Amino acid sequence: MTRSEQLFERALRVIPGGVNSPVRAFRSVGGTPFFVTSADGAMLYTADGRQLIDFVCTWGPAILGHNHPAIKAAIATALENGTSFGTPNPYEVEIAELIVRFVPSIRKVRLCNSGTEATMSAIRLARGFTRRDKIIKFAGCYHGHSDSLLIKAGSGALTHGYPDSAGVPAAFARETIILPFNDPAAVAAAFAANPDQIAGIILEPYPANVGLILPEPGFLASLRTQCTAHGTLLIFDEVMTGFRLARGGVQELEGITPDLTTLGKIIGGGLPVGAFGGRADIMDCLAPLGPVYQAGTLSGNPLAMAAGIAALKLLEESNPYPRLNRLGREVQDALLAAARKKGLPLQVPQVGSMFAVFFTATPVRDYTTALTSDAALFGRFFHGCLDRGVYLPPSAYETAFLSTAHEGTAVARACQIMTDAIAAL
């Protein structure tokens, strides 16, 4: 029995399913999860003595690679002064100023501890500001595990076959309108059927929790137009895409200004973090200024803020986005060429440092078309890569990530491994 198998056996006795986030359990791809003891650059080092090229990047935050020395140094400096104060601290002011400077739509921002907290709070704020109850979300978009949003969800909920979670009261579900992505006519119909009732539309502007789906031309602009016309708030969930595709996220790339934006992952430099922000008049509805309550003991934690400041400054100084996009194209080209040679249908949507693998001949434009992908074949591909030394997300419905640490030999080696894995299918 390997060390990872021993650890998993122990974990199963004391942790539900042996994991603290469901997709880590490998249930959709089969096998036993491995345990990591350290990570550096583009590499993971397992409890079994293996080295793996990592395309999960801690599910997005590690855009600069694992264990970056500048981020480590920032955490160490902050740690000298304590781990948590329960009071305002200078770091949270500095990171808030950076976010407001970088993200076009954000004039004020509130820090919290996770992406789930950020989206949950943004929904509450939208309802409090508009004094309406209904929310539109899109099938396959994942916005954390709060009750209002865990309906037709992506990420681990979809991976494990529970896109509609048990424990969500029917009364809550009735306030959430589920629509297909890339369908502006469906949005218009929802507004017509629910006049003056819809508080907000929340979406991942590039959905990345059902694989990776890109918006069709004009779709995001149509949402902005319809929300403005109906007095509804447009909420971009950029927990994944914020600072990963551009300093200002998808809204910078697409030239769309949402009313509220949720952030996470990269802004914590690898430590737990979340944030939501937007127009000042909306944000000022939060307590202590307004009637919408939101709080958190560890919000603005000095260690997470120090790590996030270091990460954002490095991204500003180095502007790695064109280089990361070239890496993403290199991976996309290698996978598609291998699939053509093998005679397999394959879709590899890619944008910047994000890509996904769908074994289907159907172009993926929404939740329904994503489900046409052959999940069993993906499982074989996943294990073929893992056996050869590349770690991809252990689900047919997740997005893979690149980092600046993949530049050079790591991405070239990984492309060869993934090509070999496709050839062996």
Tell me the catalytic residues. 142, 237, 265
CA–CA separation, 386 and 50 (whole Å): 10
Helix (H) or strand (E) holding 404: none
Ramachandran angles phi, psi of 121, nearest 5°: -70, -35
Closest of 269, 259, 257 to residue 302, by C-alpha? 269
309 to 72, 85, 92, 271, 300: CA distances (angstroms)? 12, 18, 9, 12, 12
CA atoms within 13 A on the CB side of 197: 12
Closest of 330, 21, 367, 405 to residue 178, by C-alpha? 367
Structure tokens at 377: 């074949």
Which residues are within 8 A (CB) of 96 and not within 5 positions of it... i.e. 6 or more apart? 109, 111
CA–CA separation, 39 and 43 (whole Å): 6
C-alpha gyration radius of the chain: 21
Structure tokens at 95: 């990171």
Helix (H, G, I), strand (E, B) or coil at 44: strand
CA–CA separation, 293 and 323 (whole Å): 42
Number of Cβ atoms within 10 Å of the Cβ of 166: 6
Closest of 368, 328, 367, 324 to residue 348, by C-alpha? 328
CA–CA separation, 216 and 219 (whole Å): 6
Which residues are within 8 A (CB) of 383 and not within 5 positions of it... i.e. 6 or more apart? 29, 30, 31
Side chain identity at residue 237, one-letter code = D
CA–CA separation, 364 and 212 (whole Å): 8
